[in-house]
Amino acid sequence: MRAPDRMREAVNVSGRPFWDDEIETMTPDARRRLEDERLGEQIAYDYATSPYYRSKLDEAGVRPGDVRGVDDLAAIPFMEKTEVAASQADGTLLGVNQCAPLDRIVRIQATGGTTGQPIRIGLTRRDIEDYGEMGARALWAMGCRPGEVVFECMNYNLYSGGLSDHLTFETLGAATIPFGVGHSERLLTMMSGLADPFGIWATPSYAVRLAEVARGLGLDPRAVGLRKGYFSGEAGLQVPGYREKVEELWGMVARDQYGTGELGLHSGECEALDGVHYGGLGFAVAELIDPDTGDVLPFTEGQRGEVVYTSIRREASPLLRMRSHDVMQVFTEPCRCGRTSWRFRVLGRSDDMFIVKGVNVFPLAIQTSLMTLAPQLTGEFQVDLDRPPPIDYPVPLTVEVDPDVPESRREALTRGVVERLQRDVNFTADVRLVGPGTIAAEGKTRRVIRTYRGEDR
Ligand SMILES: [Zn+2]
């Protein structure tokens, strides 16, 4: 891999196709050798520095030297975020997976997310450098280059999406403006005062909201100069029509990014728009498992499964078979952009998945189907599982309807939604239409509520 210092040399790098040519075009065999070697080192380090990891391996009867490669991971039990959260509950700063002493840790941030407790994560200087490297690969794939001006409009408080991702844009060489969240009118005043085009790092729904604020101020969003959108934090751009909507609103190019609080910003989509390139090569390895049985699935073209991450170059808070509860479909065939890294499409949270008569249903698939009926529907919806599995009954589904749809047409629309979902997602819904604003909460909306388990709406 290239040394970080060389990457920051003031040569004209913008014409390069990749951030890190060597690693991003590696053959599968070379990649596997690198991963196996680093995994061995990481396991030995974890075992030597964390009593938690030591007892995990000991209990499984695995000695560090037994793990010679990724294929040997299956012998080690999974790790859950809740284990780390529980170990921090008594005030312990970093908890069970802390592997570096505090005098080598220079940053602490927390994971966010819609489910579960946040956990605190430590980073050493080397962890931070690696974070920047990994993220720069993703942002480069997304089309970001030195010389660009980017407004960062993520939350800088606590979460990696703010400060750490900001520094990742800096690692790449983009001129990054630390704007943060809120103050949309001030943001638009600043943006519309700039003569040259610029980009934004935000959630896709913020780009939609910002366009509304612009119009409220009498500004034409397309005249503002926002030409590139680097988006993260929501599944928005994967919903058919959403990317086009955002691009159309601003006259911009919109690209999707994926990361996790525990690993950082690690993956971005290239110009081929054929899945998100995994950018964590050499830093973390991924396995695919069946979320119900925990069985490891083959990592092959088109395979679907829950992703499990293991750090292979992490000092402060390494992960060892950490269940992400994100279900993905992976693509291992080469991409036409020339990168050899595997790509993926996020299908949803395994916690949000429910099974109707043997069919796995994800909220994203429901949303995708509902969006085909826009603008009559807003795309907002909520599933209310009121009886425990097996789900062999019509699934109660609340769907928001556009206010312009007259009362007289709602019955037909309800039938249309049921038919559409039957065809696209293969289950029968008990649909109830409600007015706009009934479902959408500030921030992220929960799509599946299990009232049979006592969950509140
Ligand atoms: Zn590509």
Inform me whether the pLDDT recorded for 179 exceeds 60.
yes
Task: Tell me, in angstroms, the distance from the centre of ligand 1 to residue 184's CA.
Answer: 33
Task: Write down the pLDDT at residue 300.
Answer: 97
Task: Tell me, in angstroms, the distance from the centre of ligand 1 to residue 309's CA.
Answer: 22
Q: What is the CB-side half-sphere exposure of residue 403 using CA atoms within 13 A?
A: 3
| Portion of the chain with pLDDT greater than 70, in percent | 94
3-class secondary structure, 159? strand
User: Could you count the other beta carbons within 10 Å of the beta carbon of residue 349?
Assistant: 22
Task: Write down the pLDDT at residue 440.
Answer: 63
CA–CA gap between residue 66 and residue 14 (Å, rounded): 44
Task: Tell me, in angstroms, the distance from the centre of ligand 1 to residue 113's CA.
Answer: 27
Burial of 270 (0-12, 13-18, 19+ CB in 10 A): buried
Q: How many residues does the chain have?
A: 457
Task: Tell me, in angstroms, the distance from the centre of ligand 1 to residue 401's CA.
Answer: 37
What are 382-412's pLDDT values in tens digits?
999 998 888 889 999 999 999 899 999 999 9
Q: What is the mean pLDDT of residues 57-61?
A: 96
Lowest mean pLDDT among 105-114, 312-321, 322-331: 105-114
Task: Write down the pLDDT at residue 236.
Answer: 74
Task: Tell me, in angstroms, the distance from the centre of ligand 1 to residue 291's CA.
Answer: 28
The dihedrals phi and psi of 344, each to the nearest 5 degrees, come to: -150, 165
Task: Tell me, in angstroms, the distance from the centre of ligand 1 to residue 341's CA.
Answer: 8
Task: Tell me, in angstroms, the distance from the centre of ligand 1 to residue 407's CA.
Answer: 47
Q: Output the average pLDDT for the chain.
A: 91
Task: Tell me, in angstroms, the distance from the centre of ligand 1 to residue 187's CA.
Answer: 32
Inform me whether the pLDDT recorded for 38 exceeds 60.
yes
Task: Write down the pLDDT at residue 103.
Answer: 98
Task: Write down the pLDDT at residue 444.
Answer: 56
What are 244-273's pLDDT values in tens digits?
999 999 999 999 999 888 999 999 999 999
What are 107-150's pLDDT values in tens digits?
999 986 545 678 999 999 999 999 999 999 999 999 999 999 99
Tell whether the torsion through CA atoms of 400, 404, 407 and 409 is positive or negative: negative
Task: Tell me, in angstroms, the distance from the centre of ligand 1 to residue 336's CA.
Answer: 6
